[in-house]
Structure 1
Amino acid sequence: MFGYTKIFDPAYYEAFNGWCKKLYDWGFEKEHLVTCNGIIPALYELVDYITNEYEKILIVTPFYAYFKHAVDFNKRELVTSDLIEKDNYYTIDFDDFEAKAKDDRVTLCIFCNPHNPSGRVWTEEELKRVGQICLDNNVMVISDEIHCDLLRNGKKHTPLAKLFPDTDQIITCMAPSKTFNMAGFMISNIIIPNEKIRSIYKARHYDFENPLSVVAAQAAYTDGYDWLC
């Protein structure tokens, strides 16, 4: 069986990390990178690895349905904080979000950045408030950033983890699937700085990626910038 260490030479990390540095001025350590066949399958696993059956998971609504499915599949309790909508523009209700995060049983937040389905590209100020609320209340964050490369002109994506470089409590999920129309290759990048969670993931995850998918993603990250733009 092909394992992570056998099919991922340093060139894959260098290609993807280089992509993140080029677009977002943000990078991460090689050992923090693991992969999965998709971000949603990774969510199903991570919810189980991070939380126990007595803990709750916070999500802002509206949300992509499979966020809830990952919570339900693991028999965890879902806590929601509704976004404020005015003239089809959505903002975070920070008072409500903080009140929910202060619940001692809330230990994980699944956050979508940029947001699906509202289309909001969160500002750095908004992201800093979300991140600080979670960190202040010992809530780990999974930041789903699968849409980060597809922005309208004049919009700027900021990885949540970039704003909090000194914490290991933010997991970042990205993929080439939306960016390069590569969903069929079934490869996504999961950046887990927390050593404990990463060790659990590596021990329990069925560690296989199609080598052709790895090569395709590496090629896209290395040579696909002009095509994307």
Structure 2
Amino acid sequence: MERMIARIGWWLFALAALYTLVGTIGNRIASHSYIIPLTLEPGHSAQVNVLRLHPDYVDLELWHAYAQGQERPELGRYSHEERAQGYYVDDPGQPVILQVSTSTESVVYEAGPRTGRGAHTISRGMRPQAPDDDPKLFGGPTQPAPATLPRGRSTVTFSVLQVGPALRGERVELHLEPPLGVKSTSASYQWLWIFFFWPVIVAGLALWALGLAYMSWHVRDLPPRIPRSKPGRQEKPGVGR
């Protein structure tokens, strides 16, 4: 019985280790952010090959460089007012309009005001351009759906359509955000979230393996079980054939 328990334990351990390996690889693929260098000049374009485990949509951020003490007012200011048509931004910044093309569709994206600031970069979120001709109005029911990415590998092309004069010719980074993150995750990728903590899982597997190794060493020293033989039929004394 002890040997059978040890064998079952090793089989379960092998399945858990394989699941952890597959999940960790899937986590790395799904959480990878693609960074595309782009020159903000009408007519310029860039391409990137994207791998997705499940269908996803194109989520973009534009990253501008800035020096210490530089304000860069041309990138806008994130101050808005909620309205029925969407949200109205006081200062959206100078326009950056891109055409995002996949193998199946083409969607026009526009940059909003600054949404984040790092040590040397300022980020601006990008979203599909609504057909309202109002550069200060974002979101709302008229905003088109974002471009979609199919399962597997696909090529995405980013073409510059329009740039404000203060930004023309600037070299920026376009970030294609992943569907899996520590703070936000698409529904199809939720099962991969736990593998951000793969070192903890591997430590648990290592302890499990040590326990199984001790059990296997212990049962090895047990004497083999000898099957009991059934007693033969005995003849009654004094009874002849």
The TM-score range, normalised by the shorter chain, is under 0.3
- Higher helix proportion: 1
- Higher strand proportion: 2
Q: Which TM-score applies when normalising by structure 2?
A: 0.23
Q: Which TM-score applies when normalising by structure 1?
A: 0.24
Greater relative contact order (Cα 8 A, min sep 6): structure 1 or 2?
Answer: 2
